[in-house]
Amino acid sequence: MINLRNDYCYIAHPKVLENMQKSASDINVGYGLDKHSVRAKELIRKELGTRENDIHFLVGGTITNKVFISHVLKPYEAVISCDTGHINVHETGAITNKILTVPNVNGKITAQGIKEVLSQHTDEHMVKPKMVYISNSTEYGSIYTLKELQEISKVCKENNLIFFIDGARLGTALTSSYNDVEMKDLPTLCDAFYIGGTKNGALLGEALVINNLELSKDFRYSIKHYGGMYSKGFVAGIQFETLFENNLFYEIARKENELGQYLESELKRINIEIYMKAETNQIFILIDETKVDDIQKEISCEVFGKVDNKAIIRFVTHYLLEKEDIDSAISVIKSVNK
């Protein structure tokens, strides 16, 4: 079975496990106040070219979104998101603030869509839009250009909206061959974002970076209140230290993207219909519904929906794969599709 199901199917990058082993007999302070966490934050700040962000390590993506959004919004305030946004579809209502959706364009929100939502919400009988949420890379593997981010950022500033970027797959966005955004750009573009570890070589853990310090007051209270406080915070610390020590974070993401791009080009070569242009490590194809079972017999992958009588299948490339695995997958698909 070739695994193209997701990029969180293995424990962690070997280097991460190795560094844990090394520290196995160390005594650490709890709750993220340890020296590994401190150093990991310094390494991240170095990447960002800043000094004063408030950085917190949380266990996973949903709890990160939930804690941050709940911390900064009042219950009557709303988040503007793509209809395809992770918080809107795949978090089982974890965000209890209303999510005002904008139709996605290639998996992305547009400045224009945001403005339309704003124009419709004008008084206290409706929720008050207060945040824009995007994912980069998106749930459909696409990425935002610097210009797009700047436009969204501008609309947010003009309308007093908090701009929050879900970076569960930020690594693949920043290392995509289509990308023109740098890590250093993020502090000025948005109020907060997170750097996903779980889908980028860590055992688990996301690094939330709050750029707008007005939003971070008492944040540790919210982490604890919502159940997101790690007693062994140093476990996250060691991992992010490892990821940002020698560019390992980017190296992992880059490999995943390369495999993804290779897979897309090969799929095109054998005339498989691409559902949405692949810019990172997620590739969506359209294939006759009747062929899904045969594919899934040999390739582990997910069906994301359907268009007419065609299934949308998602393939995700990850660190443990090699080019040969892609070749095998292509053989399978070719043979099923003939």
Question: Which residue reads 């340890």 in tokens?
Answer: 34
Q: Can you tell me which of 29, 105, 213, 307 binds its own copies, judged by CB under 8 A?
A: 29
**Whole-number minimum distance, CB 312 to its own copies, in Å?**
12
103 lies in the binding site for its own copies (CB under 8 A)? no
CA distance 98 to 164: 16
Nearest to 175 by CA among 53, 62, 285, 317: 317
**Whole-number minimum distance, CB 305 to its own copies, in Å?**
8
**Whole-number minimum distance, CB 204 to its own copies, in Å?**
6
Using the contact rule CB under 8 A, the part of the chain among 39-47, 94-102, 180-188, 259-267 near its own copies is 94-102
78 lies in the binding site for its own copies (CB under 8 A)? yes
Q: How far are the Cα atoms of 59, 168, 217, 220, 259 from residue 230, in angstroms, in the given order? A: 7, 19, 19, 11, 34
262 lies in the binding site for its own copies (CB under 8 A)? no
246 lies in the binding site for its own copies (CB under 8 A)? no
Residue ranges in 140-159 that form contacts with its own copies under rule CB under 8 A: none
Decide: 95 and 66 in contact? Cβ < 8 Å: yes
Residue ranges in 51-70 that form contacts with its own copies under rule CB under 8 A: 59-63, 65-67, 70
- Report how many residues bind its own copies under the rule CB under 8 A: 75
Q: Can you tell me which of 35, 46, 49, 90 binds its own copies, judged by CB under 8 A?
A: 90
Using the contact rule CB under 8 A, the part of the chain among 8-16, 151-159, 178-186, 257-265 near its own copies is 8-16
Q: Can you tell me which of 146, 221, 288, 322 binds its own copies, judged by CB under 8 A?
A: 221
Q: Can you tell me which of 38, 89, 117, 292 binds its own copies, judged by CB under 8 A?
A: 89
Using the contact rule CB under 8 A, the part of the chain among 16-24, 131-139, 155-163, 169-177 near its own copies is 16-24
The 3-class SS string of 141-183 reads: CCCCCHHHHHHHHHHHHHCCCEEEEECCCHHHHHCCCCCCCCH
**Whole-number minimum distance, CB 185 to its own copies, in Å?**
28
Q: Closer CB to its own copies, residue 77 or residue 151?
A: 77
Q: Which residues of 215-247 are buried (b: 16+ CB within 10 A; e: fewer)?
A: bbeebeebbeebebbbeebbbbbbbbbbbbeee
* Contact string (CB under 8 A) for its own copies, positions 111-130, x = contact: ---------x---xxxxx--
Q: Which residues contact 268 (CB under 8 A, 6 or more apart)?
A: 274
Decide: 111 and 152 in contact? Cβ < 8 Å: yes
Cα atoms in the 13 Å half-sphere on the side-chain side of 21: 7
**Whole-number minimum distance, CB 245 to its own copies, in Å?**
18
Q: Can you tell me which of 228, 261, 267, 287 binds its own copies, judged by CB under 8 A?
A: 228
Straight-line distance from the first to the last Cα atom of the chain, in angstroms, rounded to the nearest whole number: 20
Residue ranges in 268-307 that form contacts with its own copies under rule CB under 8 A: 300, 305
With residue 65 as reference, give the H or E element that holds it.
helix 61-72
Q: Can you tell me which of 91, 185, 251, 298 binds its own copies, judged by CB under 8 A?
A: 91
CA distance 76 to 131: 12
20 lies in the binding site for its own copies (CB under 8 A)? yes
Nearest to 141 by CA among 103, 84, 99: 84
CA distance 16 to 18: 5
Residue ranges in 188-217 that form contacts with its own copies under rule CB under 8 A: 198-199, 203-204
